[in-house]
């Protein structure tokens, strides 16, 4: 009788188990890599109800972050400005008188600015979509970090170059801890960054230049020592 099952086939169940096992590990690893919040939040760039551009307002017009995110230095949360802040300029007769008549003419028919003015006159807030978010079981405080000498640049990147806000760093636990272990790489003294005669921790291009300078580690360590900074690594500091 012919041998229906050749001898080599005896190895099949073992091979199947081995490759099956590897496949399973692969699927798990892939799943963990692609579906952890770190991965899917980086680059998150939702479509906003009004296409507001940081590139124009900060990059081109040179506005300070704190003109709009007014509470970021004193509070846990950075606020999103209300429509009245936009109307300081977009009425065309605002305190800053940024818009000359020519610009105003062009702006009247800009659909995005029409939405801003409609929102203002109806009193209904523009519903901006949230981009950066740590989960409820972790705690983050803007004011502490800014006073320590960490610039918006270290966590949010070059927002001044973004027409649409995008998350550039994963805000997972490893991002927090990496800096808490070696804060000197990111610490700046506001007095080292002077724009228009004022110290500006929000001048992102100047901060970027400072942080990539070879002397940064030394400078950062000196700041950490003077301010006696102690970024926590114990679980209870962030989870409570």
By CB under 6 A, what part of segment 80-139 binds ligand HEC?
Answer: 80-81, 85-86, 88-90, 96, 98-99, 110, 112-113, 116, 128, 130-135, 138-139
Q: With left for phi above 0 and alpha for psi between -120 and 50, is residue 149 left, alpha or beta? A: left
Q: Kindly tell me which of 77 and 108 has the beta carbon lying closer to ligand HEC.
A: 77
Q: Kindly tell me which of 130 and 215 has the beta carbon lying closer to ligand HEC.
A: 130
> Is residue 223 at the binding interface for ligand HEC, with CB under 6 A as the rule?
no
Distance between terminal CA atoms of the chain? 74
Q: What is the phi/psi pair of residue 61, to 5°?
A: -85, -10
The Cβ of residue 211 has, within 10 Å, a number of other Cβ atoms equal to: 17
Q: Could you tell me the sign of the dihedral formed by the alpha carbons of 106, 110, 116, 122, in that order?
A: positive
In the complex, minimum distance from the CB of residue 140 to ligand HEC, in angstroms, rounded to a whole number: 4
Q: Kindly tell me which of 37 and 199 has the beta carbon lying closer to ligand HEC.
A: 37
Question: Where do we find the tokens 């977009």?
Answer: 90
**Which of 42, 55, 117, 148 is close enough to bind ligand HEC by CB under 6 A?**
148
For the segment 189-218, give every residue that binds ligand HEC (CB under 6 A).
202, 204
For the segment 24-83, give every residue that binds ligand HEC (CB under 6 A).
37, 48, 50, 52-54, 56-58, 60-61, 63, 65, 67-69, 72, 77-78, 80-81
CA angle at residue 111 from 130 to 41, to 5 degrees?
A: 20
- Whether the CB-CB separation of 170 and 40 falls below 8 Å is answered with no
């Amino acid at each position: 009788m012919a041998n229906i099952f050749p001898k080599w086939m005896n190895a099949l169940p073992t091979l199947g188990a081995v490759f099956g096992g590897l496949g399973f590990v692969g699927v798990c690893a892939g799943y963990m890599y692609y579906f952890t919040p770190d991965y899917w939040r980086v680059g998150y760039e939702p479509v906003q109800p009004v296409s507001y551009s940081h590139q124009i307002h900060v990059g081109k017009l040179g506005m300070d972050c704190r003109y709009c995110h007014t509470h970021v230095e004193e509070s846990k949360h950075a606020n999103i400005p209300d429509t009245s802040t936009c109307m300081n300029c977009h009425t065309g007769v605002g305190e800053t008188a940024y818009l000359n008549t020519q610009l105003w003419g062009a702006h009247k028919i800009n659909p995005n600015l029409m939405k801003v003015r409609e929102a203002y006159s109806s009193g209904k807030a523009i519903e901006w979509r949230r981009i950066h978010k740590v989960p409820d079981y972790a705690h983050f405080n803007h004011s502490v970090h800014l006073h320590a000498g960490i610039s918006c640049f270290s966590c949010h990147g070059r927002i001044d170059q973004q027409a649409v806000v995008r998350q550039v760093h994963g805000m997972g636990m490893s991002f927090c801890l990496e800096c808490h272990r070696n804060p000197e790489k990111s610490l700046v003294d506001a007095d080292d960054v002077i724009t228009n005669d004022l110290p500006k921790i929000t001048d992102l291009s100047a901060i970027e230049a400072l942080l990539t300078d070879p002397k940064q580690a030394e400078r950062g360590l000196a700041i950490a020592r003077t301010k006696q900074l102690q970024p926590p690594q114990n679980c209870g500091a962030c989870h409570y």
